[in-house]
Amino acid sequence: MSSNIILALILSGSVGAIAGYLGSLMLSKRMALMGGALGHLTLPGVALALLYDFDVSVGATLFLAFGVLIIWLLEQKTRLHLEALTAVVFSASLATAFLFLPKEEIDIALLGDVSQISPIIVLITVLISIALFFTVKKIYSSMVLSSISSDLAQTSGVNLKLNNALYLICIAVTVALGVRIVGGLMTAALLAIPACTAKNISGNLSQYTIISTIAGSLACILGVIAYAISGVPAGPLIIIASALLFMISVFKQQKR
């Protein structure tokens, strides 16, 4: 096994783990598809990164921050719901990306690319994933409580504004990391499917978060292994592996 594949396995496994863990919280709050909209927001940044040869996660993060800022400003100036504004901005982002994205780089932007990963990128990604994990862990229970009753959460001393800000930042950073391995089109699946898998077979909240984390990491590892064998882009293979794990969980649930 080549060193590049080993690096890809480490990187994708760490991103898959945090995506699965965070996805379990997003599913609990019925926000599992939000990652898809944010994934579209990253595409202009990914396009610029490919065009000017710098790291795609950096480009994705910059445009994600810019897009979220635009959505927030529009929310202050209009009476439209957040979902409607997000749809407008991510559609415009997608169109903008295709204006200057080189044709030969479209597959990388949409489907991800793990063929060229340096050790320093892997190290940074793993460290960021660990930081994200502990941040999400710190706010997890209070976010679940606030989704049940915001009044009860506030009465319990939860700082809703701070927690919501940390929650959105964690989603944005995870999406920016996920764009590297599954592209801008499939980030919602990277976050949502492992959580759905865990929901089918878990008996309590602890099992739910653990299984979702493992399912996310395992799907990414299996996808990269399939990529190493077949040469097919890893992004679609990761999502297919995740979907297969979900189907296994469905059959296991039916036998219980």
State residue 83's pLDDT score. 66
State residue 105's pLDDT score. 67
Tell me the two tokens of residue 5: 């594949």
Tell me the two tokens of residue 87: 């749809």
Instruction: Please report, in tens digits, the pLDDT of each residue of the chain (256 residues total).
Output: 688 899 999 999 999 999 999 999 988 887 766 766 777 777 777 777 777 777 777 888 888 888 778 877 887 788 777 667 777 887 887 787 777 777 766 776 777 778 778 899 899 999 999 999 999 999 888 888 887 777 777 777 778 778 888 888 888 888 888 888 888 778 888 999 999 999 999 888 899 999 999 999 999 999 999 999 998 888 899 999 999 999 999 987 766 6
Supply the angle between the helices 34-52 and 187-201 in degrees, to the nearest 10. 140
Distance CA 145, CA 162 (A): 15
The number of distinct structural domains making up the chain is 1
Give the closest residue to 21 by CA, choosing from 182, 129, 153: 129
State residue 104's pLDDT score. 66
State residue 123's pLDDT score. 94
Q: Which value, in Å, is the radius of gyration of the alpha carbons in the chain?
A: 18
CATH of the domain at 85: 1.10.3470.10
Domain that holds residue 158: 3-255
